[in-house]
Structure 1
Amino acid sequence: MKRAALIYNPIKADPDELKKLVKQAEQANGWDETLWFETTEEEPGGSQAEDALKQKADLIIAAGGDGTVRVIAEVMRGTGIPLALLPSGTGNLLARNLDLTLDDVEHALDTAFTGTDRPIDMGVIEIRDGDAGTRRHGYLVMAGLGLDAKMLANTDEDLKAKAGWLAYVKAIGAALRDENQLHLRYRLDGRSIRSVRAHTIMIGNCGSLPANILLLPEASVDDGEFDIVLLRPEGFVGWLQIMVKIFWENGVLRRTTAGQKLMGLTKEVRALNYLKGKELVLKLSRPEEVELDGDSFGRATAIRTWVDPKSLLVRIPAEAAPA
């Protein structure tokens, strides 16, 4: 009999109710009794995933937010063991980008025990902060420096737990008032070094953010490439151009055939630059905040990030599998 392991964040998921539903699902589908692991602040999921793999789990179910999913996936990368998602956080970014159920636990568990496996890319990043050494991490959705990283660094975690995405409003305001730009030199896929000033740079494995915001319209979780965006606004007009591109063109026009034809008549704007590549190396003129999948990872003076293609198996509904 196959056996699953469920790793849950007790702040995000109710274990008592969850155990009842898991027992029903495992029995209905002929699986052995599920292994249970609880995360803690000191051990947010990585060691639990390692223990589950040592105990020969055939499937690992992650019940928590984006941070929990990222930490577990970091350990599971390249193992060939599938990861199932039980979205329980504020953003649930990977689940959104895979069109998975966000608020139906029974359907998510049915997918876990009866679904099919989809191989997706993962990002790997090395973060250097001066003499502090180099840290390596994996990520699933996006890595960012600039506005989004400063916003996350300024976010009140207690308010976030109570108010969800509303907690970011105050933090966004503080980040927008910061007029310091990123001064960076980068090399993409081994090509020539470029120098640029930007307000924000985001490296994406996925393209969608909460509130149906399509930041990287051509991003795909399994194409073996990153989609990268540089935000370079100059004053109010620059921010307005970015808003029009992201919310109107990406969010509305791109979703219909008629809208896509209209997009052909619009011009690219200097405030928003898109790039594609498999490996990005960049150096910063001073330490800057960096974020991965919505969590702050301190400061970086340089990063190197690359795609590990189709290195993680994610469980999706059987009916959603490609023909």
Structure 2
Amino acid sequence: MSESSAAGPAPETGGIAVPSRAAIISNPTKQGVQALRAAVERAEARQGFAPSLWLDTAADDPGKGMALEAIEAGVDLVIAAGGDGTVRSVAAALRGSGVPMGIVPLGTGNLFARNVDIPVNDVEDAVVLAFSGRDRAVDVLVADIARPDGAEETHASLVMAGIGIDAAMISNTNPELKKRVGWLAYVDAGLRALPASEPFRITHRMDGGRHHRSKVSSILVANLGYLPGNLELVPDAEVDDGRLDVVRLQPRGLFGWLFVWRKVAWENRVLRKSAFGRQLIDLTGGNRHQAVAYSRGRSVEIAIEEGPQEFEIDGDEFGEIVRARFHVDPAALTIRVPR
């Protein structure tokens, strides 16, 4: 894990101190933007920053183009104000640049912010943190995907990407319900998606090793471990460990989803935290059920054997794919986190 202090004294040009400057990338239609502007002005004054560069996201660009514009302008800090989609898009541009990214959560899930202890319900605190927190280097997952028509694309992920029922659930989420109840809308979509879901066969291999065939309902590639509701999907995942975690959900029928739920909501979150709990898992056969299977490495290649499947990245739908290769870009992004 790489850490350093936030921006120090302003650089000097010809003996005159040049104040630091931030860029704020936000969706102007989001609730909380007026509070965001006021909080930024107060933080600028406290930290001795020049007035920020404000850049609005667009329907066809949630942040990457604006982040590239901010880098070109020579700013010292880029703040992504939005949900996981905006944060991911801004991070894709800042990856490898060395320019730190602050995060002001304005979305529904805000999974990345939650996993790195950024306040998700207080714009003022999040802005203060973005301007004055410490720098932390974190990993970025890079996904090279192939579409059914042969087209190839590359995308970045900070949270997790998924193929199968999780992506179908996201694509079926009611946007109006999501605005009203937040991440609970995914539960509604999941209950509707489960009965119609069909397992599919994949071939995957870690770090260029042996090929393994599986029949799964979903395969996820994760950079971190927690889902909404404090559910611990990947207990060993760390956002700065230089590894990616692969999770195969392979329940046998609807009853098998009970074993998935047991693993995520009970074993991972409660029992694995103590020696007694781990013994209880063994005694009750938890480790023998393969409804949830884990793998770790630096890269994974996935081929879908039975036609295209839905694909999602960080909670956003990305259409259908037929294969994907993920690799971890370690310590590629600098973010602002609590001191």
TM-score range, shorter chain: over 0.9
Listed as ranges, the matches of 1:1-323 within 5 Å are 1-256=19-274, 258-260=276-278, 262-263=280-281, 265=283, 267-268=286-287, 269-285=289-305, 286-318=307-339
Structure 1 gaps of 5+ residues are 319-323
The percent of aligned pairs where both chains have the same amino acid is 42
Deviation, 1:201, is: 0.7
The range that moved more, 236-245 or 252-261, is 252-261
Partner deviation per Cα, 1:210-232 (whole Å, 9 max, x = no partner): 10010001000011111111111
SS of 2:189's equivalent in the other structure is: helix
- For 1:220 and 1:118, the matched residues in 2 are separated by 13
| Distance (whole Å) between structure 2 residues aligned to residue 17 and residue 107 of structure 1 | 11
AA matched with 2:265: F
How many residue pairs are counted as aligned between the two chains? 318
Secondary structure of the corresponding residue to residue 323 of structure 2: strand
Cα RMSD over matched residues?
1.5
Q: How high is the TM-score relative to the length of structure 1?
A: 0.94
Distance of 1:264 and 1:100 partners within structure 2 = 36
**How many angstroms apart in 1 are the aligned matches of 2:318 and 2:338?**
33
Shift of 1:13: 4.1
- Answer yes or no: is the 8 Å Cα contact 1:13–1:63 preserved in 2: no
CA contact under 8 A between 1:67 and 1:293: conserved in structure 2? yes
In structure 2, what is the equivalent of residue 321 of structure 1?
Answer: none
Distance 1:260 1:36 in 2: 50
Secondary structure of the corresponding residue to residue 310 of structure 2: strand
Amino acid at match of 1:293: D
The letter of the residue matching 1:292 is I
* Secondary structure of 2:51's aligned partner: coil
CA distance in 2 between counterparts of 1:85 and 1:121 reads 16
Shift of 1:261: 5.4
- Flag structure 2 segments of 5+ consecutive residues without an equivalent: 1-18
Does the residue aligned with 2:182 lie in a helix, a strand or coil? Answer: helix
Q: Deviations over 1:227-265 (max 9, x none)?
A: 111111112442111111111111222345654554454
On the 8 A contact 1:228/1:275 being kept in 2, the answer is yes
Between 17-26 and 83-92, the greater mean CA deviation after superposition: 17-26
Higher mean C-alpha deviation, range 191-200 or range 102-111: 102-111
How far is 1:21 from its partner?
1.3
TM-score, reference length from structure 2: 0.90
